[in-house]
Structure 1
Amino acid sequence: MTISSDIANTIVDPRAYADGDRVDQAFAQLRKEQPLDVAQPEGFDPFWVVTRHADILEVERQNELFHNGDRSTVLTTIDADKKVREMMGGSPHLVRSLVQMDNPDHMAYRRLTQGSFVPQNLRVLETRIREIAKGFIDRMIEKGEECDFARDVAFLYPLHVIMEVIGVPESDEPRMLKLTQELFGSADPDLNRTGSDIQDTDAGVDTIQSVVMDFMMYFNAMTEDRRANPRQDLASVIANGQINGQPLGHLEAMSYYIIAATAGHDTTSSTTAAALWAMAENPDQFKKVAADQSLIPGLIEESIRWATPVKHFMRTATDDAELAGKKIAKGDWLFLSYPSGNRDEAVFDKPFEFRVDRTPNKHVAFGYGAHVCLGQHLARMEMRILWEEFFKRVASVEMNGTPKRMAASFVCGPKSVPIRFKLH
Structure 2
Amino acid sequence: MADTAVATPPKTKKDPARTMSTAAAAVCNDIVSPDTYADMNALDAAFKRLREEDPLAWCEPEAFRPFWAVTKHADIMEVSRQNKLFTNGEREMLSFKSAEEIVYAQTGGPHLLKTLVQLDDPMHYKLRHLTQDWFMPHKVKTREDAINAIAKEFVDKMEDMGGECDFQQDVALYYPLRVIMQILGVPVEDEPMMLKLTQEIFGAQDPDLMRNKDLLDDGDANAGFESIQETLAQFFMYFTNITSDRRENPKDDVSSVIANGIVDGEPIGQLEAMSYYIIVAAAGHDTTSASTGGGLLGMLRNPSELKKMMDDPAAHSRTAVDEAIRWTTPVKHFMRTAQDDYEMRGRKILKGESLLLCYPSGNRDEEVFDDPYEFRVDRSPNRIISFGHGGHMCLGMHLARLEMQAIYEELFSRVKSIELAGDPTFIRANFVGGPKSIPVRYKF
Given the two structures, how large is their TM-score scaled by the length of structure 2?
Answer: 0.93
Hey, what's the Cα distance between the residues in 2 that align with 1:197 and 1:415? 22
Match of 1:142 in 2: 160
- For residues 47-89 of structure 1, the C-alpha deviation after alignment (integer angstroms, 9 at most, x for no partner) is 00000000000000100000001x221111211100011111x
The answer to whether residue 183 in structure 2 is matched with residue 162 in structure 1 is: no
Given that residues 69 and 356 in structure 2 are in contact (C-alpha distance below 8 angstroms), is that contact kept between their aligned partners in structure 1? yes
The answer to whether residue 119 in structure 2 is matched with residue 86 in structure 1 is: no
Shift of the alpha carbon at 1:196? 6.0
> For 1:2-13, what aligned pairs fall within 5 Å after superposition?
2-3=20-21, 4-13=24-33
Shift of the alpha carbon at 1:203? 3.3
Shift of the alpha carbon at 1:283? 1.4
- Structure 2 counterpart of 1:373, from 389, 394, 404: 394
The answer to whether residue 142 in structure 2 is matched with residue 151 in structure 1 is: no
- Structure 2 counterpart of 1:276, from 284, 296, 315: 296
The answer to whether residue 379 in structure 2 is matched with residue 358 in structure 1 is: yes
Give the match's secondary structure for 1:419.
strand
Structure 2 residues not aligned, in runs of 5+: 1-18
Match of 1:117 in 2: 135
Hey, what's the Cα distance between the residues in 1 that align with 2:73 and 2:161? 42
Given that residues 203 and 429 in structure 2 are in contact (C-alpha distance below 8 angstroms), is that contact kept between their aligned partners in structure 1? yes
Give the match's secondary structure for 2:30.
helix
> For 1:255-294, what aligned pairs fall within 5 Å after superposition?
255-292=275-312, 293-294=314-315
Given that residues 210 and 224 in structure 2 are in contact (C-alpha distance below 8 angstroms), is that contact kept between their aligned partners in structure 1? no
Given that residues 204 and 225 in structure 2 are in contact (C-alpha distance below 8 angstroms), is that contact kept between their aligned partners in structure 1? no
Structure 1 residues not aligned, in runs of 5+: none
| Residue identity in the other structure for 1:362 | R
Shift of the alpha carbon at 1:6? 3.3
Given that residues 100 and 110 in structure 2 are in contact (C-alpha distance below 8 angstroms), is that contact kept between their aligned partners in structure 1? yes
> For 1:312-323, what aligned pairs fall within 5 Å after superposition?
312-323=333-344
| Residue identity in the other structure for 1:240 | N
- For residues 245-280 of structure 1, the C-alpha deviation after alignment (integer angstroms, 9 at most, x for no partner) is 111111110000000001100000000001111111
| Residue identity in the other structure for 2:114 | R
Hey, what's the Cα distance between the residues in 2 that align with 1:375 and 1:313? 17
| Residue identity in the other structure for 1:171 | E
Match of 1:28 in 2: 48
Match of 2:93 in 1: 74
- Structure 2 counterpart of 1:254, from 256, 271, 274: 274
- Structure 1 counterpart of 2:366, from 325, 331, 345: 345
Shift of the alpha carbon at 1:197? 7.8
Given that residues 215 and 223 in structure 2 are in contact (C-alpha distance below 8 angstroms), is that contact kept between their aligned partners in structure 1? no
Match of 2:431 in 1: 410
Match of 2:126 in 1: 108
Give the match's secondary structure for 1:393.
coil
> More displaced, 189-198 or 149-158?
189-198
Give the match's secondary structure for 1:350.
coil
The answer to whether residue 203 in structure 2 is matched with residue 185 in structure 1 is: yes
Question: How many corresponding residue pairs?
Answer: 421
The answer to whether residue 233 in structure 2 is matched with residue 213 in structure 1 is: yes
> More displaced, 273-282 or 236-245?
273-282
Hey, what's the Cα distance between the residues in 1 that align with 2:32 and 2:405? 33
Given that residues 278 and 354 in structure 1 are in contact (C-alpha distance below 8 angstroms), is that contact kept between their aligned partners in structure 2? yes
Shift of the alpha carbon at 1:200? 2.2
Hey, what's the Cα distance between the residues in 2 that align with 1:203 and 1:404? 22
- Structure 1 counterpart of 2:113, from 95, 99, 103: 95
Hey, what's the Cα distance between the residues in 2 that align with 1:268 and 1:54? 25
Hey, what's the Cα distance between the residues in 2 that align with 1:205 and 1:195? 12
Shift of the alpha carbon at 1:326? 1.2
Match of 1:297 in 2: 318
Question: Could you tell me the percent identity over the aligned residues?
Answer: 53
Shift of the alpha carbon at 1:5? 3.5
Give the match's secondary structure for 2:196.
helix
Shift of the alpha carbon at 1:23? 1.3
Provide the alpha-carbon RMSD of the alignment.
1.1
Hey, what's the Cα distance between the residues in 2 that align with 1:175 and 1:226? 20
Shift of the alpha carbon at 1:39? 0.5
Given that residues 286 and 396 in structure 1 are in contact (C-alpha distance below 8 angstroms), is that contact kept between their aligned partners in structure 2? no
Shift of the alpha carbon at 1:178? 0.3
| Residue identity in the other structure for 1:78 | K
Classify 1:197/1:35 alpha carbon distance in 2 versus 1 (closer, same or farther; 3 Å).
farther
Classify 1:74/1:103 alpha carbon distance in 2 versus 1 (closer, same or farther; 3 Å).
same
Given that residues 271 and 309 in structure 1 are in contact (C-alpha distance below 8 angstroms), is that contact kept between their aligned partners in structure 2? yes
Given the two structures, how large is their TM-score scaled by the length of structure 1?
Answer: 0.98
Hey, what's the Cα distance between the residues in 2 that align with 1:59 and 1:200? 35
| Residue identity in the other structure for 1:269 | S
Hey, what's the Cα distance between the residues in 2 that align with 1:29 and 1:304? 23
| Residue identity in the other structure for 1:386 | I
- For residues 304-348 of structure 1, the C-alpha deviation after alignment (integer angstroms, 9 at most, x for no partner) is 000000000000001111122211100000000000000000100
> For 1:196-207, what aligned pairs fall within 5 Å after superposition?
198=216, 200-207=220-227
Match of 1:53 in 2: 73
Hey, what's the Cα distance between the residues in 2 that align with 1:134 and 1:350? 34
